[in-house]
Structure 1
Amino acid sequence: MLDRVLHEPMYIFLCNLCVNGIYGATSFYPKILLDLLSDSHIISYNACVTQIFVVYSYILCEQANLTVMAYDRTCARSKAEQNKFMETCLPHLITLANFSLSAAFDAVAAWFFSYESLQALRNVLSIEYLVTPPLLNPLIYGLKLKQIRLSVWRLLSRKVSALT
């Protein structure tokens, strides 16, 4: 918010990805932590419906945001010169592929792995899209996009110089 250089559509979309990742994580992490700390692994009907709503709205927002980002990158790429590909398009393609494959694996697991013996695999596949994208998105975009890396470096430099 403080750096005017980052007030472009791509960086606003990245902020939306971050906020949406936090939103999606709030549907999953509190319940899993509660289950790890307690002996009872029961969820009420209202809590289950709320969790389903938050998870599905997270998926919808994530997919919509990634689609709009793809359109923005396509427009920007057609107006700019193909050496920006590694900086802008590749991280987005990795993120889009990661999220889409994670959601597809969850759907496949729910459809085909209904046997009791494969329940552990089904559980892992069903939560992978809630865990991996929110953790990887900041790393992928933060490390690959030069403007974000420079802004973070400037912010940290100011903080260090203020301390000394």
Structure 2
Amino acid sequence: MENGTMPSYFYFTLFKDFVHMRYLILILTLTVYLAILLFNVIILFVVFKERSLHEPMYIRISCLSVNDLYGSAGFFPRLMVDLLFDTNTISRTACFVQIFTIYTFAVWEYTILTLMAYDRYVAICNPLKYHKIMNSKVTALYMALASLYAVFSMGLAIFFSARLPLCGTDIARLHCSNWSVVRLSCGNSTLNNNIIGFFVSATTVFLPAFFILYTYVRILIICQKISKEFRGKALQTCIPHIISFVNYSIASFCDIALSRYDSDKFKFVALFFSVGFLVIPPFLNPLIYGLNLPEIRKNIACLFQRSKVGHFPK
């Protein structure tokens, strides 16, 4: 086994292939990030300002926006600094902090989507028990337990990754990822990390995904037995969540699948898919819920009408 080291810095190799486009990418990145900030802040403002939206479903939508802002903050500012100053390096500490931020964002995204699926399942399949099962205390408890598990599981994975002796410092991405660091390790020391990575992925991604699929199978079965009018209202509240779930699942799967292959063979594809789950869901989620849910859409419209006449709600 080769002797490894604990390097102080890592180098993002994708930057050198797009150095001639860095200012264009910087402008696009800044535009997308500002849009993410604006869209998600509007959702948060509307949900917390309007008392009629102080219900479990809308609170979870606001939690999704908070998480999207959190994940975006772990990626976009660092990327813009790298593009602006043409720096392709990141310190070891900053790299693992970014890994922790991005991965906890990913786990919490699935957690919130899972709770939202369960919320729709209870509302449609057990409407009489909805307010008893999905009250604020139960929701807060679920979120707290899921958050603690996310922090623990990601902390454990990063702890083992940080101890690996490394035989390289090049990361073929625009951000740090746990698997990118593990691939740089020397010898066969990646076995434990692969086991831990599989366990974390199974409990934080695949199990929630199967649960979400199960809830929607049950919802579809129930919808076949109810009136057409109620079925339309039920599906109207489910469609935004289904779009968000499919959108995030595809983006995450592409990132996971691509990370296992040599991205040097298709750099542009690597560039797009390695950041897809950090860009597309935070950008689209507020649009999906803002445009599809009547209550949120109505309050956003009222907000802009008031702003045009210079009158904001007190």
Residue 52 (str. 1) matches residue 99 (str. 2): yes
The residue aligned with 2:76 is 29
Question: What is the Cα deviation at residue 71 of structure 1?
Answer: 0.4
Match of 1:17 among 50, 61, 64: 64
One-letter amino acid of the structure 1 residue matched with residue 256 of structure 2:
A
2:118 maps to which of 42, 46, 71: 71
The CA deviation at 1:156 is 2.7
How many residue pairs were aligned? 162
Q: Mean Cα displacement is larger for which, 53-62 or 119-128?
A: 119-128
Report if aligned partners of 1:102, 1:129 keep a CA contact under 8 Å in 2: yes
Identity value in percent: 39
Equivalence map 1:138-149=2 (5 Å): 138-149=286-297
CA RMSD of aligned residues (A): 1.6
Deviations 1:94-126 (A, max 9, x none): 000110111111110011x21522233223211
Q: Which has the larger radius of gyration?
A: 2
Which segment drifts farther, 118-127 or 98-107? Answer: 118-127
Per the alignment, in what secondary structure is the counterpart of residue 43 of structure 1?
Answer: strand
Question: Which of 254, 257, 274 is the equivalent residue of 1:105?
Answer: 254
Matches within 5 A, 1:32-43: 32-43=79-90
Distance 2:302 2:266 in 1: 49
Contact 2:263 2:270 in 1 (8 A): no
Give the distance between the partners of 2:238 and 2:263, measured in 1 at CA.
Answer: 40
Looking at structure 2, the residues matched to 54 and 110 of structure 1 have their Cα atoms a distance apart, in angstroms, of: 18
SS of residue matched to 1:82: helix
> Which runs of 5 or more residues in structure 1 are unaligned?
none
**1:91–1:140 Cα contact (<8 Å) kept:** yes
Confirm whether residue 153 of structure 1 aligns to residue 301 of structure 2.
yes
TM-score of the aligned structures, taking structure 2 as reference length:
0.49
Q: TM-score, normalization: structure 1?
A: 0.92
Distance apart, 1:133 and its partner CA: 0.2
In 2, the alpha carbon distance for the partners of 1:42 and 1:35 equals: 8
Cα distance, 1:161–1:115 mapped onto 2, change above 3 Å: closer
SS, match of residue 236 in structure 2: helix
* SS of match in other structure, 2:90: coil
Is the Cα contact below 8 Å between 1:105 and 1:125 reproduced in 2?
Answer: yes
Supply the distance in 1 between the matched residues of 2:308 and 2:269 (Cα, whole angstroms): 46
Tell me by how many angstroms 1:74 deviates: 1.1
Query: How many angstroms apart in 2 are the aligned matches of 1:115 and 1:149?
Result: 41
Q: Work out the CA distance in 2 between the residues paired with 1:85 and 1:30.
A: 39
**Does residue 95 of the first structure (1) align with residue 142 of the second (2)?**
no
Q: What do residues 16-73 of structure 1 show as CA deviations (whole Å, max 9, x unaligned)?
A: 0111000000111011111211222111111100100000000011000000000001
In 2, are the aligned partners of 1:87 and 1:146 still within 8 Å (CA)?
A: no
Relative to its length, the structure with more helix (as a share) is: 1
CA distance in 2, matches of 1:68, 1:36: 37
Aligned counterparts of 1:55 and 1:139: Cα–Cα separation in 2 = 22
- 1:120 matched to 2:120: no
In 2, Cα distance between the equivalents of 1:162 and 1:115? 52
Q: Which moved more, 1:78-87 or 1:33-42?
A: 78-87
**How far off its partner does 1:83 sit?**
1.2
Residue equivalent to 1:134? 282
Contact 2:81 2:87 in 1 (8 A): no
- 1:133-152 Cα shifts (integer Å, max 9, x gaps): 00000100000000001111
